[in-house]
A and B are shown apart, each in its own frame.
Chain A
Amino acid sequence: MAPSPFAPKRPVWMRSTIAIAVLSIVVYAVWREASPWSPGGVGGLTFGTLAAAIFILDALYPLRRRLMAWPLGTAQRWLQFHLYGGVLACLFVALHTGFRVPSGAMGWSLSLLTAWATMSGLGGVWLQKYVPAKLTNDLSVEAIYERIPEIAGRLQREADSLVVGAPEVLQRFYTTTIRDDLDRLKPSWAHLGGVRAELARRVAPFQGLEAFLSPEDRVRLDGLQSIVTEKLELEVQYSLQRLLKQWVVFHVIPCMALLALLVVHIAAVLAF
């Protein structure tokens, strides 16, 4: 049985991460009982430094993806570290501040950016498990993102040539109902929910027409239906792949800003 896409790929790492998280919280709770907690104290500083170090290591992951020829370990291992490390770093940031509400522009910025980066990261984890499963199980067509516009154009032309010489009713049906759908790509996040409803919607008009066509024209109609289905699947591919690419930007923005502010924060704390 293939593992469900949502199961962790490295259960050992997940278990160790949970163990470390629990241990950190316990250490924090015990320490806090014994003496007042301060972000600049020994405990707070340790957690803060760990969080900063993990953030910096996490930021090295895109670098790893650029230096593909170098023997630095598999990309999968790096990504796993990036994920689990990021979660731990977020926890460590909270422990560093003692779960205190932030104050001041810097405090709020750091906290919000950390939250944004972590939440967007976890959202990305979910997206990257959900979208491939969706694309693979619900669709039959598979295409490279950059080629989809070209293939869609080809479909358009194929459809046009298919209705040449077709009876009036079919041609009218084509120009009024079908052509719009084939015209250009209309990516939409709604495809995240599934393709079945949309497919039914697009295919429904075909049902009624069969009675009016001869057998060979019925073949044409089936061909048109197949083209419409393929176009829809291409659109879904385009939308969901584009969503994944948009997510990258949404995640990288807070990470870069967080790193920059981190430098400022560390400089300010060291200087004073």
Chain B
Amino acid sequence: MPRELPSGTPTRASGYLQPGSRRRPVAISLAVAAALLAVFAIVFMAGHRAVASPGRVSAGHAPIDQRCAECHRVGHAVVDLRCERCHEPGGTHRLTQASHAARGIGVTAQAHADENVPCATCHAEHRGGMDLVQSVDDRTCVRCHQFPSLARHPEFAAVSVGTATGIGLKFTHDRHVAEVSHEGRRCEACHQLSADLSGFEPIDFDKHCARCHTTDGFVTGDTDPLDGRLLSSAPAAAPVVTPGARTLVTVSRMAHRDEWVLNNLIRLRRIADPDGERTERLALQTQIAELSNQAQMQPVAALPLGDLERLRGALESDLAAPAQNAASPNRDDRSLADMRAALDSVARSLGAESTAASDQERAAPSTPPSSETSEEMRAHVEARKAELLSLLDAIAARGDSALTTRAAALRARVTAIVDAPAAGVTDVDALSRRLRSMDAILRAIGGVPDQQAAADAAGVAALRDAAAQQIDGALSVEQFEARRTELLRLLDAVSRQNNPALEARIAPLRQRVLMLRAGETPEQRRARTQEMLNRVALEIELAKSGETAAPSAIAAERDRLAAQSRLAILTRRLAELTRAVGVAARTPASPEEALGAITSLAAPCLKCHVMDGARLAPVAATQRVFRGARFTHKPHVQQTDCLTCHGAVQTSKQATDVVVPAVASCQSCHAPSKAPSRCTTCHTYHPAADDTVER
């Protein structure tokens, strides 16, 4: 019979049948998967830590890709301190939310009250080498600034609010434009583009104005008659002085920026408006002190490990020291006393004998006097002076010529210190309280987006600081800075000894000296000490872990250079303000008389210049209209004409006109499919390194 193809199973199993074992495929899969994992593990152990990260870091961070500890700490989020270590080593808080807000508001005190936004919130890493960490999405800005795009950008503050003082000159564009166009020229007659086309050369009187506004090099016009005895002749030679009735004289043939005129104006101002002058001087001094600290301070990362540890120890003991009474008159003295103690030990190691006075002095700082009479205060000062002098003698005894000269100079100054006159027994606490209550008002005023108001508030704040200093009986900024500078010079001298034992102690001392600020409350001091301690502790931790290396010095160098350039400008200004101005025959009897004299003397100047209190308003050679935005003229001048945006100059009659186009004119070209219109096109969140805020 034919054999049939079975439908179903050909035969039946004769015996028992167990299903196939699943062990083999499971074992194979496990083995392969384990091998894959082993590869990862081996690569990780071999030091290639980046295999554990979910994505490669951006190209900018590529060199530290393998060093996780640079940014990360196990169990914690990435803290700002680690970012600042490389990106902002100077400790200027430039990269904080406070800085950002302050640039817009103009008052750092209020800005500090804002909550800080951690760096990692906007700058996300581990998204691959092509990612731009600094490119932040527009919508992050929208979180605080409530408009979603350039199309809805509110009117520019400069346009809507305007400037009160303008450029500091009575300048009418329409007249000048007409004049220039008669000659067949246009804007370029006065406004020359800089070499990189981004901006314009500053307006210079000699270059741009002198041609029409001077005759034979002299400003046209004479002064009003004024009392000649009020004027001094030294140091510069006077222009032509024509006597008039009685003691009145008239001055003529003044050059622009005539030195003699300026000297007299400054001297008269000191009498007409001493507070104003003092305010200005204080502001400059404070800023100079701040900037000089920045310039001199070594980034923590550059210190060797030993120095770091010593510094940490010192900072910790600073913090642990009992909080001092805010009204103590010895606040600044105390910090200096600490310095002195350190120097003392240095001097001892130089071989000088410790005097009984220094022993006494060491005991004294541990018991801060809470309330003292003027007698005791004077005794304190005398004791300090004596102690300092003995120390200086010890240093001079060393025989080093440089040291000796220094010591001698210092000695002269120390002996010149006169005890501050006791202003009677004042209720220090009540005054301090009233000062503090002013703080709240100042903050509120500072929040108003009005430049004039902000400036006024800044002035009041400076006065307040001065008052605080006076009430507390502390040192003035000048004195403080002077004493600190001396200490620094001493340290420099010691370090030049090239004594290795001493070297180790110099660097931490330097840092601590540079950390001091005049007029600081203990809370502020503690905060800053704590912050420095955090930085130092982080640096030590990173150095010990062995995984990280010191950051490149470029950021620190840039910060330092920025500080230095600004410092140069401010120092020059301060020098101008405090220069020797000679002596006149008669001092004005009252501020009003001085003011009258100023106005008469400056009569020719006032044809163009404006008066600001008791001085000529400073002229802004380059107007910085946008506080928070960057604007380069280059792409605009290459594509359009000046008058497209600045057409208002043809009819501008006032100097306070801000000839800046409204936001609408920007929006016509800067729109989604046309010119770039992202937030970051014009704005940056962080102020630039050379862009410090004036207070």
Contacts and interface: CB of A to CB of B under 8 A. Distances in A.
Nearest to A252: B29
A256 B30 contact: yes
A109 B13 CA distance: 47
Contacts of A40: 124
Interface stretch (A73-81, A188-196, A218-226): A218-226
Interface in A132-152: 140-147, 151
A201 interface: no
A105 B33 contact: no
B515 to A, nearest CB: 32
Contact of B5 (A109, A147, A226, A260): A226
A103 B56 contact: yes
B25 interface: yes
A142 B4 CA distance: 14
Interface in A253-272: 253, 256-257, 260-261, 264-265, 268-269, 271-272
Interface stretch (B36-44, B525-533, B559-567): B36-44
B17 A144 contact: yes
B129 interface: yes
A248 B25 contact: yes
A269 B54 contact: yes
A226 B3 contact: yes
Interface residues of B, number: 50
B20 interface: yes
A150 to B, nearest CB: 9
B53 interface: yes
Contacts, number: 130
Interface string B2-15: 11111111110100
B140 interface: yes
B127 interface: yes
A contacts with B: majority SS = helix
B624 interface: no
Interface in B45-89: 50-56, 68, 72-78
Interface centre among A105, A110, A229, A265 (most CB of B within 10 A): A105
A1 B306 CA distance: 87
Contact of B25 (A222, A233, A245, A260): A245
Given A249-B25, A272-B68, A142 B9 contact: yes
Contacts of B139: 34-36
A66 to B, nearest CB: 8
Given A143-B9, A268-B53, A272-B68, A105 B127 contact: no
A200 B137 CA distance: 67
Choose among A145, A154, A245, A256 the residue with the greatest number of B CB atoms under 10 Å from its CB. Answer: A256
A22 to B, nearest CB: 25
B93 interface: no
A271 B7 CA distance: 62
Interface in A178-237: 219, 222-223, 226-227, 229-230, 233-234
A249 B29 contact: yes
Interface of A: 34-36, 38-40, 100-107, 109-110, 140-147, 151, 154-155, 219, 222-223, 226-227, 229-230, 233-234, 245, 248-249, 252-253, 256-257, 260-261, 264-265, 268-269, 271-272
9 contacts: A104-B54, A105-B43, A106-B52, A146-B19, A154-B11, A253-B29, A257-B37, A260-B37, A265-B54
